[in-house]
Amino acid sequence: MTSALCPAYEVLRLLTGKWKPAILFHLREQTLRFGDLRRCLPDVSQKVLTAQLKELEVDGVIRRTLYPEVPPRVEYALSPLGTALIPLLQQMHDFALSHGELLARRDLGE
């Protein structure tokens, strides 16, 4: 099946990446700088976080604002598209909480 046949594939493409949902989760209520995101996501490497942020920016999910200061200051915020994705991410979160036992069994190969 091609993405033209199922629009959901395009949405999934926006969220594909181990850290993308977590990045969006942390940006849902406030604008953050790179260092703030690193502190929120201590298990992600700087290289991977940078790559995920660039992909989200290219896809129009987040906005990157560079302030012409010394040293430069960069802030990340949700775009309107990113804001529109938050209810979907919340539903996924709620689904995982309400089906945790079934998801755990799947992880165990049952």
CA distance 52 to 21: 10
Higher pLDDT, 62 or 13: 62
Q: For the residues 67-71, what does the mean pLDDT come to?
A: 91
> 82 with 27: CB under 8 angstroms?
yes
Name 79's Cβ contacts closer than 8 Å, sequence gap at least 6: 60, 61, 62, 63
The whole-angstrom separation of Cα 83 and Cα 81 is: 5
Residue 106 in this model has a pLDDT that exceeds 60 = yes
| pLDDT surpasses 80 at 105 | no
Look at residue 53 and give its three-state secondary structure. helix
Structural domains in the chain plus CATH codes: 8-107 (1.10.10.10)
Angle, helices 80-98/20-27, rounded to nearest 10 degrees: 110
pLDDT of residue 4: 64
Confidence (pLDDT) at 46: 94
